[in-house]
Amino acid sequence: MSSKEKPTLGGTRIKTRKRNIAAPLDPAAFADAVVQIYLDNVGDLELVAKNIESSDLNFSRYGDTFFEVVFTGGRTQPGTIKPDEGERHPYSIIECEAKREAILPSVIYVQKILRRKPFLIKNLENVMRRFLQSLELFEENERKKLAIFTALAFSQKLSGLPPETVFQPLLKDNLVGKGLVLSFITDFFKEYLVDNSLEDLISILKRGKMEDNLMDFFPSAKRSAEGFSEHFTKEGLVPLVEYHEKKIFEVKLKEMKSALTTQIAEESDISEVIETVKQLVKDAKLPDIEVVRILWDVLMDAVKWSGKNQQQNANSALRQVQTWAKLLNSFCTSGKLELELIYKVQMQCYEDAKLMKLFPEIVRSLYDQDVLAEDTILHWFRRGTNLKGRQTFVKALEPFVKWLEEAEEEE
């Protein structure tokens, strides 16, 4: 028998990790603590900011609740702006007067808080988005205060607040349809433009992806160029009206240029192209001068230019003029429009080195095709006002002008 001990089963004690037990959420206690700071300092926002900075409150957990207290004076019920149970203070943004001097201190106060606690910007976005989506729950005067705060926030370049946070939540059909969005955005524009330029406003609209969609703020019944002009002119925002009209004009020009480019590339029948242009001009109410400019741009853009072969380029340009002379002739219906066409040819030949020497040939071809009248050419030669390349082009055109003058004398 062996004297060795028999093996026994022995267990190894396994240490179990303690689970992180999450503390229960208590936004009510947090809100009451923030409200008490307001009350203790009688609404002095500088002192409130200092006390908030030195407090040990859990802002990373209750950021949304904090901004509810800032805007409304206390907690709001989930999904609404109705006050929830708990303490409240009378120094909120909603309780201020609807004037910039009354609301600006709150903007500066929020800016200070965000500089010390930059993570709170997301909570500010959350609360602003929720409030803007619930505009109908606010009184008219309260909506104006929100608009003034928002405008001043951008004017003061509030840390990291993205424009889409403001503009996109507004585009709810029910808010737009009731005219609440138009009223809000009008107050916003007016307040922002007190301290900033129209270019600054356009920059914000671009970042908020609204630059080309300003009509979306209007109820469907008022959603027209005339409605836009009438509303903002009445509100004293004439520069915005002028900017919008210019944008619409540019869009219409682009649409016309695109339609023409397609038809010319497809070598459509000239009469069909003429009808298309007439319809576009009628629908878009485009000035005749712009039509002449577009026609020339599109025709020359369609030419397949050769690299350095000057003669080939000349032939291509003249062939294009001859092919589409009837189109040009249909819209160069006065001496003023003919002169505009010469200026257009002059500018293109001045700016494009390969066309520099083609100016007299193009003018001669336009004359031969009855697009340009003799009087118009002589007027440009003697009293033209566009100085770019003029000296060179006048000299190049001298032989042709001399021929015209001699023919005139013979007659």
What residues does each domain of the chain span?
27-223, 298-409
Say how far apart CA 281 and CA 277 lie, in whole Å: 6
Mean pLDDT value across residues 32-45:
93
DSSP result, 49-66: HHHHHHS---TTTSHHHH
DSSP result, 162-216: -HHHHHHHH--HHHHHTTHHHHHHHHHHHHHHHHS-HHHHHHHHHHTT-TT-GGG
DSSP, collapsed to helix, strand or coil, labels residue 4 as: coil
Mean pLDDT value across residues 108-136:
93
**Confidence class of residue 21 from pLDDT cuts 50, 70 and 90?**
very low
Instruction: Say whether domain 298-409 belongs to CATH 1.25.40.180.
Output: yes
Residues 6+ apart with CB under 8 A from 313: 305, 306, 354, 355, 358
CA nearest neighbour of 291 among 339, 233, 331: 331
Share of the chain above pLDDT 70, in %: 91
- Which of the two residues, 293 and 13, has the higher pLDDT score? 293
Token pair, residue 72, equals: 């409304």
Residue 9 has pLDDT above 70, yes or no: no
Residue 308 has pLDDT above 80, yes or no: no
Give the other-Cβ count within 10 Å of 122's Cβ: 13
The whole-chain average pLDDT of the chain stands at 88
